[in-house]
Amino acid sequence: MPILMYHSISDNLFGMSHPYFHINTLPEVFSAQMRWLRNSGFRTIGLPEVLTGLQTGADLSKTVAITFDDGYRDFYTDALPVLKQCGFTATLFLATDRIRNTPARIEGADYLTWSDVRELHAEGIYFGSHTVTHPDLRSLGPDQLEYELGRSKEIIEDSLGIAIESFSHTFGFPEEDQDYARYLADVLCNLGYDHGVSTILGRASRKSDRFFLPRLPVNSFDDHWLFRAKLQGGYDWLHWPQLLKKMVLHNSSILQGPGANERTARTS
User: What is the model's pLDDT at position 267?
Assistant: 33
The answer to whether the pTM exceeds 0.85 is yes
The 10 Å Cβ neighbour count of residue 223 is: 12
User: What is the model's pLDDT at position 262?
Assistant: 44
User: What is the model's pLDDT at position 206?
Assistant: 95
Percent with pLDDT over 90 in the chain: 85
Instruction: Provide the CB-side half-sphere exposure for 132 (13 A, CA).
Output: 13
Name the pLDDT band for 250 (thresholds 50, 70, 90): low
Element (H, E) at 160: helix 142-160
Query: Would the pLDDT of 181 be above 90?
Result: yes
Instruction: Identify the residue with better confidence: 17 or 238.
Output: 238
Model pLDDT for residues 21-40, shown as the tens digit of each residue? 899 999 999 999 999 999 99
User: What is the model's pLDDT at position 254?
Assistant: 56
User: What is the model's pLDDT at position 255?
Assistant: 55
Query: What number is the average pLDDT over the span 72-92?
Result: 98
Cα–Cα distance measured from residue 69 to residue 130, given in angstroms and rounded to the nearest whole number? 7
Model pLDDT for residues 102-154, shown as the tens digit of each residue? 999 999 999 999 999 999 999 999 999 999 999 999 999 999 999 999 999 99
User: What is the model's pLDDT at position 190?
Assistant: 98
The overall average pLDDT reported for the chain is 93
Percent with pLDDT over 70 in the chain: 93
CB within 8 A of 63, min separation 6: which ones?
1, 42, 43, 44, 45, 53
Cα–Cα distance measured from residue 177 to residue 254, given in angstroms and rounded to the nearest whole number? 11
CB within 8 A of 123, min separation 6: which ones?
80, 84
User: What is the model's pLDDT at position 264?
Assistant: 41
Model pLDDT for residues 35-71, shown as the tens digit of each residue? 999 999 999 999 999 999 999 999 999 999 999 999 9
Among 129, 145, 125, which residue's Cα sits nearest to residue 137? Answer: 145
